[in-house]
Amino acid sequence: MKILGIETSCDETAAAVVEDGTRILSNQIASQVEIHARYGGIVPEVASRQHILSIIPIIEQAMAEAEVTWSDLAGIAVTIGPGLAGSLLVGVNVAKAIALAQGLPVIGVNHLEGHIYANWLSNSSSRSVPDFPLVCLIVSGGHSDLVLMKGHGDYVILGRTRDDAAGEAFDKAARILGLGYPGGPAVEQAARNGNATSIQLPRAWLKGTGDFSFSGVKTALLRLVERGMASTAADAAASFQEAVVDVLTTKTVAVAKEHRVKQILLAGGVAANELLRQQLRQKSSISVLVPEPVLCTDNAAMIAACGYYHFQAGKIDGLDLDVIPSLRLG
C-alpha cells in the first residue's frame, strides 16, 4: 500500500512516497535554508511564498522517483500542524486538491507524530521496527517532548520543555557565538574542534519530572560571552552541546527505566546530532532506535509512514480538513 506524504510546516517543501509505512520509494526535499539564512531565521511570509513555488515540482519529482501514478496510491498524508499557518496551508490545500481530483482519501498528520514515525522507515528490509511499549524523545526546533507509546496512535506525554525547545536552544547558542544559521549543525561543527570540559555550564535537572528547561544554560552562555570569559567559540560550543545532551540523555534513560519500556526512540531535527545519538546509546541498557540523520530533520517520508498507520486504523479525513498551527500531541 503506497501513500504520498506532503510536508510544508516550516521551511522545507517535501514530498515522498512510502510503501506499507516502512519502505521509502522516494523522499524529495526542497530546503529554503539559503533564503532564510540572510535574515538569521525563518521569515514566515517568505516561507509560504516559497512553498507555493516548490510544492508541485517536488510532488512530481517524488512521484517520478517512486515510479508511481495517482492510481498506484492508496491515499495522501499531509502535515496539518504544529507549524506556521501560511506554510501549512500550502501543503494542506494541495493535498485536498489532489484528493478531490483523483478520488483519493486525504489523511491529516500531526508533524510531531510524523517525527516519531521516522523510526519505522528504512530504505532496506534489514532495519527492525520499534517494539511497544516505548519512550520517544522528540527534540526539534519547537519541541522537547518525552512521550510514552503503548501502541500506534497512543501517546502519553511524560515531559516537555518549560521554556526553550532543544533545537531552539542550539539556534540561540549559535547566534550568541556568532556561528550562523541554522544553529544546530553550526554548533555541532564548531564543537568538533572544542574541549567540552573547558567551561562548566549549568544543567536544569527538574528532578522528579520528565520536563526540561534550557533557558538557564543559554543565559549562562550569554553571560560568559558578554564577560569575555569563553576561551574560544569552539570550546563554548562543545561545552554547550555537552550540557544539553547530558540532560536530554540522562532524563530520557531514567524515564524509560521507570516505565519499564522495551525501547527508546529518538526523533526530530536535534536527533541528527551525533553526540546525542552516541550518548543515548552509551547510557541506555534498553535498546535505542534512531532514524538516519536525513530522516530526523523535516521530511515527508515520515508523514507518509505515519499516514499509513492512520489509514490502517480507519482514520481518514474529509475535504474540510484544516490546518491547526498550535496542534499538540496526546
Site residues, ligand KG4 (CB under 6 A)? 10, 140-142, 167-168, 170-171, 182-185, 188, 268-270, 272-273, 297-298
Would you count residue 273 as binding Zn ion (CB under 5 A)? Answer: no
Question: 42 or 98: whose CB is closer to ligand KG4?
Answer: 42
Q: What, of Zn ion, ligand KG4, none, does residue 21 touch, CB below 5 to 8 Å by kind?
A: none
Question: 140 or 144: whose CB is closer to Zn ion?
Answer: 140
Query: Considering only residues 126-145, where is the footprint of Zn ion by CB under 5 A?
Result: 140
Angle at which helix 274-283 crosses helix 233-258, to 10 degrees, equals 40
Least Å from the CB of residue 136 to ligand KG4: 13
Contact letters (x/-) for Zn ion, 286-325, by CB under 5 A?
A: ------------x---------------------------
Least Å from the CB of residue 296 to ligand KG4: 7
Least Å from the CB of residue 102 to ligand KG4: 28
145 forms beta bridges with 138, 160
The CA-atom distances, in angstroms, between 262 and each of 149, 157, 226, 319 are: 11, 17, 45, 39
Q: Say how far apart CA 140 and CA 17 lie, in whole Å.
A: 23
Q: Say how far apart CA 147 and CA 157 lie, in whole Å.
A: 5
Q: Say how far apart CA 177 and CA 237 lie, in whole Å.
A: 8
Least Å from the CB of residue 267 to Zn ion: 9
Strand order of the β-sheet with 12-19 is 23-31, 12-19, 2-7, 73-81, 106-110
Q: What, of Zn ion, ligand KG4, none, does residue 145 touch, CB below 5 to 8 Å by kind?
A: none
Q: Say how far apart CA 236 and CA 66 lie, in whole Å.
A: 44
Question: 46 or 316: whose CB is closer to ligand KG4?
Answer: 46
* 102, three cell numbers: 483523483
Least Å from the CB of residue 198 to ligand KG4: 20
Question: 242 or 298: whose CB is closer to Zn ion?
Answer: 298
Question: 32 or 140: whose CB is closer to Zn ion?
Answer: 140
Cis amide prior to 133 (ω within 30 degrees) = yes
Least Å from the CB of residue 118 to Zn ion: 10
Question: 2 or 175: whose CB is closer to ligand KG4?
Answer: 175
Q: CA nearest 295: which of 149, 115, 130?
A: 115
Angle at which helix 233-258 crosses helix 215-226, to 10 degrees, equals 170
* 152, three cell numbers: 500506534
Contact letters (x/-) for Zn ion, 87-126, by CB under 5 A?
A: ----------------------------------------
Which one-letter DSSP state was computed for residue 212? B
* 254 Cβ neighbours under 8 A, 6+ residues apart: none
Least Å from the CB of residue 136 to Zn ion: 14
Question: 298 or 317: whose CB is closer to Zn ion?
Answer: 298
**Interface residue list for Zn ion (CB under 5 A):** 140, 298
